[in-house]
Structure 1
Amino acid sequence: MPAAPADTASKSFAPPTRQRGYITAMRQLAANRPPGAPVRVYLSVPPLITERDNWEERLKAVRTRLPHGVELLTYGTAFADGSDYASRWEEFAAGLDGLVVIAPQKKPGGKVYRLGPASRNELRTVVAAGKPVLLFARTCGLVPVVDCRAGRVGPPHRLRTKLTVPGGWDARTPAPTLQAALAALSPNTSEEPAPPARAAHLLTPFEIAVR
């Protein structure tokens, strides 16, 4: 079936109230970041992509789109000591400030990306923690997952997540949600003390149902 007009023109699949909640939460994360605190972002990507010839180019593209000073971690750098990923992921994720996901496209040139079981679990963990999660789409740059349409696919024993980028997303004009997410990932170089932390429920009004 052809896509509905709303799908092709929309700049976000999230309703305005969710977008506003997300922006508020991201701004609060930015305001609460202590001066000098490191910002750690994990890059979730399947081996089939890291083994391609253009991997270094794609990695550089992600780095250039993130705020200066962000520590970008990959499976190879985070678990280089040979420690068990499965047993360490939850503890490791607790120290992250955000996540960037690179996933295969359903079809070349399309806006649908498929996350395997590992990436799906990583995304769900970081979203549940109220931290920014961004999809790196080949033609759209960084897209907050909150703006994407998420769906569950695959059998129960091997669930995957399908993310659809809004048809109206324009990488040349950063959306307010993306600006807020990048602000939340920006190191605080100020010498002023951070304001008191707000109630935890204010940090998760944007949580999407990644089923």
Structure 2
Amino acid sequence: MPAAPADTTSKSFAPPARQRGYIAAMRQLAESRTPGAPVRVYLSVPPLITERDNWEDRLKAVRTRLPRGVELLTYATAFADGADYASRWEAFAAGLDGLVVIAPQKKPGGKVHRLGPASRNELRTVVAAGKPVLLFARACGLVPVVDCRAGRIGPPHRLRTKLTVPAGWDARTPAPTLQAALAALKPTTSVEPARAARAAHLLNPFEVAVR
């Protein structure tokens, strides 16, 4: 009888050392947050999903899974004035605290999600900044991209990214990486001074090979 695939029960494609590095980096972000500072998260999603009848339900599902007080931005709210997205994205992204991605699935109910060129660029920008990036799937909830398997697909002129959620991911039991990412996105209201941020969190110990 053939052996079962190695990832049938895995909760993360990231090696333990990368998971530990990611958790440490997220804790540093949480500790360095300025009390009272707004937390801004951008929701990266293609138009074909926002145009569906259940879009408002999906949007609500994302909101309820993020810490209370997070400002969730979408293309419609962030670029509503009609200004050119392409020329503004880099400056806009610099002010973000995190990113949530919703992407079409390869097969309905499957674990594989495909990001188009725009979402791919948005993901790479925020990952490179050392900020938490989460994939949202209805059956899995929020999944840190660090726990996913990432791959580059498509021709050079139209590169896309494929993200595979671990088969053992359980939305009912939040993984330590997800807990750390959500803690890093939690607004701080305490009057106690936050710890100074260490530059080490920008070294991306959790960087995903999204090439």
TM-score, normalised with respect to structure 1: 0.97
> Which residue in 2 is equivalent to 1:47?
47
1:166 aligns with 2:189: no
Return the offset for 1:124.
Answer: 0.1
Match of 2:175? 175
Of all paired residues, the percent bearing the same amino acid is: 90
State which drifts further: 108-117 or 199-208. 199-208
Q: Are residues 1:27 and 2:27 paired?
A: yes
- The separation in 2 between residues aligned to 1:136 and 1:177, in whole angstroms, is 15
CA separation of 1:4 and 1:152: change in aligned 2, threshold 3 A: farther
Correspondence 1:1-211 to 2 at 5 A: 5-201=5-201, 204-211=204-211
Q: How does the TM-score come out when normalised to structure 2?
A: 0.97
Where does the alignment leave 5 or more consecutive residues of structure 1 unmatched? none
Deviations along 1:55-83, one digit per CA (max 9) or x if unpaired, are 00000000000000000000000000111
Q: Once superposed, what is the RMSD of the aligned Cα atoms?
A: 1.3
CA distance in structure 2 between the partners assigned to 1:79 and 1:10 by the alignment:
39
C-alpha distance in 1 between matches for 2:92 and 2:202: 24
How far off is 1:199 after superposition?
Answer: 2.3
Aligned-residue offset at 1:9: 1.0
Deviation of 1:32 (Å): 0.1
Q: CA deviation at 1:200?
A: 3.6
**Which amino acid is 1:20 matched to?**
R
Change (3 A) 1:3 1:83: farther
Contact 2:44 2:99 survives alignment (8 Å): yes
3-state SS in 1 of match to 2:31: helix
Q: Tell me if structure 1 keeps the 8 A contact 2:130–2:201.
A: no
C-alpha distance in 1 between matches for 2:63 and 2:113: 20
Q: Name the CA distance, whole Å, in 2 between partners of 1:66 and 1:185.
A: 8
Aligned residue pairs total 210
Q: Any idea what SS the aligned residue of 2:41 has?
A: strand
> C-alpha displacement at 1:94, in angstroms?
0.1
Task: Please give the secondary structure, in 2, of the residue aligned with 1:9.
Answer: coil
How many Å separate the matches in 2 of 1:39 and 1:209? 26
Superposed displacement of residue 109, structure 1? 1.1
The runs of 4+ residues in structure 1 deviating greater than 2 Å are 2-5, 199-203
Amino acid at match of 1:99: L
> Gaps spanning 5+ residues in structure 2: where?
none
Offset at 1:204?
A: 1.6
1:8 shift after superposition: 1.6
Partners of 1:156 and 1:203 in 2: how far apart?
27
Cα pair 2:70 2:187 within 8 Å, conserved: yes
